[in-house]
Structure formats: structure tokens, C-alpha cells
Structure 1
Amino acid sequence: MEATRELRVLAVPDCPNLPLLLRRLARVLPAGAAPVPVQVVTNEADAARCGMHGSPTLLVDGEDPFAPPGAATGVACRIYRSTDGRVEGAPDIDQLRAVLG
């Protein structure tokens, strides 16, 4: 992963998929990397301001690499389709590696 990349996770309170995303990020990031900060988002205005397209959202340099163009922001659960077609609550390891290098 490039050293200049800023990572941040956006999530609603008690998001059931947040631990899954954080575990997967820990597997992809270099050993000794700082934990990815998590920002809790509780309302639609903050979701729009932060660029949260559902919970959890991973931002890379302030952008959501998994959101399709024109995707609506919002305070809701988010579903990701894995590389093998499964529906999951977070991007899979291969998807994270592709985004983070």
C-alpha cells in the first residue's frame, strides 16, 4: 500500500459488519500498520458530508472505491458482492488488496 494513502472507515453505531471489515483490513495492511480510524455516523446529513454509502464504508483518500458512480449516501446497512459472487457485509480480501495495492 502506498504510504500517502489515508484510510478511514465510516459506520453506524453497533454496525454488525464493522468487525469483519476491520479484520480483513488487518490482513491486507502491512504488519505494524496503524489501526484504521473509525468514524461513527448517526444521521443522514453527516453521511452525505462524509461520503458514507452505507455501513461500513471504507474511504481511501476521502473516496469510496466500492461505491458505483452516483450512489446515494445514507445511514443504512451496506452489502458488498465478493469476487466469487457471494453477498457479504464487507469487501473481500481480494477486493481490498486490489484497492489498496
Structure 2
Amino acid sequence: MKAEILHIDDCPSWEEAGRRLRVALDATGHQVTVITYTLVASSAAAAQVPFAGSPTILIDGTDLFPSAGRTNDLACRVYMTPEGLAGRPTQGQLQEALASHG
């Protein structure tokens, strides 16, 4: 399994998203999976990857939380969580999405 977080420099959520993803990977039996962090520094770079805002969490190259579409804007992403809108998914959402991923 390949895990990657696409992020922009100014996003305050990508580091915590990475910590939560690490815990979720460990909890779902993927302890050896390394998380790669990719800085999306330009609109041109965003156009080359499946970027849906920062942080975009990819598993095997696919957005773990598919949304309406991609963006070339260097913007933060908003996730719908049980607590309302947030800059990153909850720990439970990550674990559930990973378990469903296969």
C-alpha cells in the first residue's frame, strides 16, 4: 500500500492529518506503510496530481475521500466530519475509509 499526503505550505491541517493517518494505518494492519508528503507549490504542480485541496490523502494514488473534483487552486480542503466541517478527517473516518479501501 502506498500512502501520500498532498499539501500546500500554508495549510495548517496537513501535519495533523499525517499523524492521524499514521495511527489509522497502524490500527488497520498497515504498520509498514510509509507516508509520503508532497508539497504542491504551484497551480501547475496541482494540475499534475489528483489534488482536491490541502490535505489530499491518497492511497495507492486514489483520493481516500473522493470529492466533486480536483482543483488547481493552492487552497485548504474542508472535510465533512461528525463534528461539522474541519480541515482534516477524524481518526475514525480515516480508519473506516482505510478498512473499506481493501
Give secondary structure in 2 for the equivalent of 1:50. Answer: coil
- Give the TM-score, by structure 2 length: 0.81
The residue number in structure 1 matching 2:90 is 92
AA aligned to 1:40 is L
AA aligned to 1:22 is G
1:34 CA displacement: 4.8
Distance in 1 between residues matched to 2:34 and 2:59, nearest whole Å: 14
User: How does 1:31-42 map onto structure 2 within 5 Å?
Assistant: 32-42=31-41
Please say if 1:67 is aligned against 2:66.
yes
| Structural RMSD (CA) | 1.8
CA contact (8 A) 2:7 2:38 kept: yes
The residue number in structure 2 matching 1:46 is 45
Q: Where in structure 1 are there 5+ consecutive unaligned residues?
A: none
Distance in 2 between residues matched to 1:60 and 1:26, nearest whole Å: 12
1:85 CA displacement: 4.4
Distance in 1 between residues matched to 2:10 and 2:36, nearest whole Å: 15
Please say if 1:9 is aligned against 2:8.
no
Give secondary structure in 2 for the equivalent of 1:10. Answer: strand
Please say if 1:20 is aligned against 2:16.
yes
1:65 CA displacement: 2.5
AA aligned to 1:79 is V
Report % sequence identity. Answer: 34
Number of residue pairs matched?
95
Give secondary structure in 1 for the equivalent of 2:32. Answer: coil
1:6/1:35 CA distance change after superposition, 3 Å? closer
CA contact (8 A) 1:21 1:90 kept: yes
Q: Where in structure 2 are there 5+ consecutive unaligned residues?
A: none
